[in-house]
Structure formats: C-alpha cells, structure tokens
Amino acid sequence: MALNTRSIGNVGVLDLHGRFDAHMAPAVIEWYGRLPSPHVVINLTDVTFIDSSALAALAGGMKRCRQRDGDLRLCALQQPVRVIFELTRMNRAFEIFATEAEAISSFTH
Amino acid sequence: MRIAIVTPYPPSQGSLNEYAFHFIRFLRQKPEVREIFILSDRLPDDATYPAETASPPGLAPLHIVPCWRFGALDNALRIVRTARDLAPDIVLFNIQFASFGSSKPAAALGLLAPAMTRAAGIPAIVLLHNIMETVDLKSAGFGANPLVEWFIRAFGAITTRALLSADLLAVTIPRYVEILEHKYGAANVLLAPHGAFDEAPPPSFDPPPGPLQIMTFGKFGTYKKIEPLVDAFRLLSETRRDLELVIAGTDSPNAPGYLESVRLANVDLAGLRFTGYVAEEDVPRIFQDAGVVVFPYTSTTGSSGVLHQAGNYGRAVVLPRLGDLAELIAEEGYTGEFFTPENAQSLAEALARLLDDPARRRAMGTQNYLAACGLPMAEVVEWYILHAQNVLTVRNTRRAARRREFVKR
C-alpha cells in the first residue's frame, strides 16, 4: 500500500494504491492531522481492496473535515471497492465521484 | 441526537446484554449524542436497574426505561408506546430472533416492534444478530417433521419481512446481506462490523531473547502433518544454531501415537521440543515465545482458529499454498508467508525469509494483530451515527418536499 499526497488549489488530494486496510489506516489518519484545508479528495483508482478499518478511517476523516466546514469526498472507486461501499451503505454517507476532476470541482460549485 | 435503544441491558441476563453494554458505553461518548434511553426488559422479582444520578462529564445522559418483559405477548405495543412518550430522534433495536421470548408467538410479536415504531413516525434501525435462514432447525430439534419445519420457515420469513420494514436493517455477516437482498428483495440492509469490546494493550511483536522459536500448535496426525516441518527445521539447522522447533499440542483423536512416532524418528535432532497438551493458561506464553507460527496443513477449508490466535499475539505466520487460502486470509486482513504443501525445502525457504528479517516479522505480526482485533466498538458506533444521520436527513428532505408540494397546491 502506498500513499501520495498533493494539493490542487485549496483541496488536499490523497492517492492510495493497493490494499487499504487496518495496516494502512493509521497512516491515513495521521495525514488528516497535517491537513491545511478541510477540503479533501481521496483518489481510490488504484485501491484493490478495502476493509472495515479503512472505511472507519474514511468516516473519521469525513467527520473531521465536516467539523471544520469542509468535506472528504471520494473518487474513482473500482468494482471490488465499490461493492464494499454498497454492502455497508457507506456509499450513502460519502459523496462519491467518477473522476478526480469532478470531485475537486465539486468544492467550487 | 436523542437515541432510544431497545435491548436487554445488564444486570438483565437477556441475550445481547453484554453487546449493548459496550455499544452504549461508546455511544454516549460521541458528541453527536445528546441523550440515550435504554428501553430494556423488566428484571425478575421486581428488581430495579441502578439509576444514574448525574452523567459523568463528556458522556450523554443515560436513562434506563424498563418497558417490556421477556415472553410477554404485548412487548411491541409497550415499546412503541414508550418510544412515543419519549419522542427520541431515532430508535435502535439490538436484537435477535429470540430476543422477546422463547415461545414462537412472543418472539414473533415482539419482532413487530421496529415496523410499528416506524409506522408511529419514529425512524427505526435494527441491528439483527442472526437470521432465520441460517438457523439449523434440525439441530434445534425441528427437523424430524417436514411440516413443522416448513411452518417455522414460513413464519420466519413473515417475521423477517416485518423487520425489513424498519428504515435500515444491519447485520454483521456479509452472507446475511446477500440472503436478505436476494430472498426478500430488500434494499435497506447493510453490513456493519460486530466490533471488538476489548481495549487490551497490544502484545510485544518481538519474541523474547534466546533461541528463535518456530512453533506449530494444534492436534496433529490427520491433516496437520509435522514431518515436512521437522525436515525443514533440519535443513535450517544445518546453517543456524539459534533455532528451536516447538510442537505444541497433542495427537488428533484419530491419529493416536502420531507425535511419539515422529519424536522417535528424530531423536538426533537438537532443538526439537514437544510440549504435549497445552493448558488454557499456558496458551499466551506458547504464542508469545514464538518467533514464527507454522501451519503444516495438507488440506484446509478456510482460515483457522489458530491463525486468529497467532494474530491475537501479534505473530508472523507461515501457511501452505492451498486452494484459495491466501485470498481467504487476505479478505480477513491477515497476511503470511507461503510454502508448497508437504515440501520441506519450500517450507524451509519460507521460514528463512522471516527468520532473517525481524522487521518483516514485526510488520506481519502487527498486521495479523490488527486483523484479529477487528474494528473497535468506538468506530462501529460511529457507523451507526452516520447511518442514523442519513436516515434523518432523508426523512427531513422528504418532509420538506411534501411541505413545498402542499404549499404549491
């Protein structure tokens, strides 16, 4: 699992790769603590697996961002990851976009 | 948010009381929760629940309202009446099929409570810990008469449909979601992790000083064969003197004398140790002393209890490359080093990869520990709050739309 971070305007973008699970979740949570802006997009294009710890980390991040009047939005979910979101109905809790560009522009529209 | 939770709660001995205790312990710590009402069952002999005079700082006030009785036929009515009086924002049900009674009428009538609560205008979320479709009626003593079995199944299906009338129905096993979606066409079912109660400190991920132990644990002689492991250990011992192989456990009942025969065939092998039967209190030490835990299986149907134990104690594991075992354990969050079954050379190489790399052992032990822990209850409770907020948002949006529609007309 790899983690790359970028900033596009005032939106923090996190690219994740591989398995997003209990092993990786602490690094993502730690990243939230360093966020300059509460507007966040997490790009899941290259995530092949996600578990409950990862979902909890995303939910925790979303809560943190919303408490600061921002939001954490997701984009580019692959089929195995999308299935987990649907199974847990977390697809109703997050704003999910097909592409990163759409997710980023959603903060300005 | 003001939340009512229908559940047995300690000191009630009703099933799921312990789950409720831990769930509520964390729920009341959440800033979104303003007040909690526990709609619990009445205690026997008119005993009373301990009253909380003042809430500790940072915790939502907790009110226990005993309003139903295990085995009574009017529990659903009583619950709805109490919920209407208290007017919470949402009602959670922490239940299973026999929560409201051991007789079929009492159990089934009680399970109408979520549907009736919703019909009364209060949103309802059900956490259902079991489903009828997976109950083994034969084991329960109902399998002898096909008519009785059919009747119970039909009754269970009707009750399940009633439960599905809640705003959301959460289950803790993915297969339950599939069954409820396919059989009932349900679109309001979700998977929620069960949650781990314990907050025990993590174990040490390093073995104690001294010879590095390779350990295997179980009942041996049928599909757990230690000969390849002993041979692998023999290969490793040719170049290393800092190792010990610990065979922890006994013969399988179907293979008496198996371990003794292996011991006699390898009396020349230094560092090979047989513990015999491992008492429950010695299990932690056996795992904590191990550097690597090996699964010398020749067949398997899935991940094992020993793997869960190895995870609990934060241990690296070496597993056979059998069927889809690697995928199965990965789905549960575990990881391991793999070897070709019954191949001593392959097993020795897999062991060497871990023995030579303490950082990798530690990382693997940490991942397995996290997998064994499961999601902490504090996180599970967050999920329910999110789902409850969504239910309330959808309701409020619909209500606002209806109001706008009414004004237009």
Q: Say how far apart CA B351 and CA B233 lie, in whole Å.
A: 9
Minimum distance, in Å, between the CA of residue A22 and any CA atom of chain B: 6
Nearest to B375 among A56, A92, A93 (CB): A56
Q: What is the pLDDT of residues B314-361, one digit of tens each?
A: 999 999 998 777 877 877 778 999 999 999 999 999 999 999 999 999
Rounded to an integer, the average pLDDT of B388-392 is 96
Percent of the residues in chain B that have a pLDDT greater than 90, as a whole number = 62
Peptide bond into B11 cis (omega under 30): yes
Mean pLDDT, rounded, of chain B: 90
Residue B10, SS3 per DSSP = coil
Contacts of B367 in chain A (CB under 8 A): 21-23
Q: Does the CB of B29 have a partner CB in chain A at under 8 Å? A: no
Give every strand in the sheet of B2-6, ordered side by side. B62-68, B35-41, B2-6, B90-95, B124-128, B168-171, B189-191
* pLDDT value of position B300: 66
Return phi, psi of residue B21, to 5°: -55, -50
Nearest to A59 among B177, B370, B386 (CB): B386
Q: Does the CB of B366 have a partner CB in chain A at under 8 Å? A: yes
Rounded to an integer, the average pLDDT of B23-41 is 96
Q: Say how far apart CA A45 and CA A39 lie, in whole Å.
A: 19
Q: What is the pLDDT of residues B79-128, one digit of tens each?
A: 999 999 999 999 999 999 889 998 889 999 999 999 999 999 999 999 99
Q: What is the pLDDT of residues A2-53, one digit of tens each?
A: 688 999 999 999 999 998 988 889 999 999 988 889 999 999 999 998 988 8
Contacts of A90 in chain B (CB under 8 A): 383, 386
Q: Could you tell me if A38 and A69 are in contact, meaning their C-beta atoms sit under 8 angstroms apart?
A: yes
Q: C-alpha distances in angstroms, B41 versus B21, B48, B50, B63? A: 14, 11, 14, 13
Per-residue pLDDT for B401 more than 90?
no
Query: Cβ B375–A89 below 8 Å, yes or no?
Result: no
On whether ipTM exceeds 0.85, the answer is: yes
Rounded to an integer, the average pLDDT of B193-221 is 86
Block residue for tokens 């939230």: A32
Nearest to B370 among A53, A89, A90 (CB): A53
Would you call A29 exposed, middle or buried from its count of C-beta atoms within 10 A (0-12, 13-18, 19+)?
middle
Contacts of A22 in chain B (CB under 8 A): 333, 367, 370-371, 373
User: Would you say the pTM of this structure is higher than 0.90?
Assistant: no
Candidate ranges B69-73, B150-154, B249-253; pick with highest mean pLDDT: B69-73
Q: Does the CB of B328 have a partner CB in chain A at under 8 Å? A: no
Which residues, 6 or more positions from B385, have their beta carbon under 8 angstroms from its beta carbon? B1, B27, B30, B32, B33
Block residue for tokens 């064994």: B372
Q: Could you tell me if A14 and A42 are in contact, meaning their C-beta atoms sit under 8 angstroms apart?
A: yes
Per-residue pLDDT for B137 more than 80?
no
Closest CA to B5 of B40, B46, B49, B45: B40
DSSP string, A30-65: HHHTT-SSSEEEEEEEEEEEE-HHHHHHHHHHHHHH
Query: Cβ A52–B374 below 8 Å, yes or no?
Result: yes
Q: Say how far apart CA B272 and CA B41 lie, in whole Å.
A: 57
Q: Which two tokens stand for residue B76?
A: 């659903």
Contacts of A49 in chain B (CB under 8 A): 330-331
Tally C-beta pairs within 8 A across A and B.
56
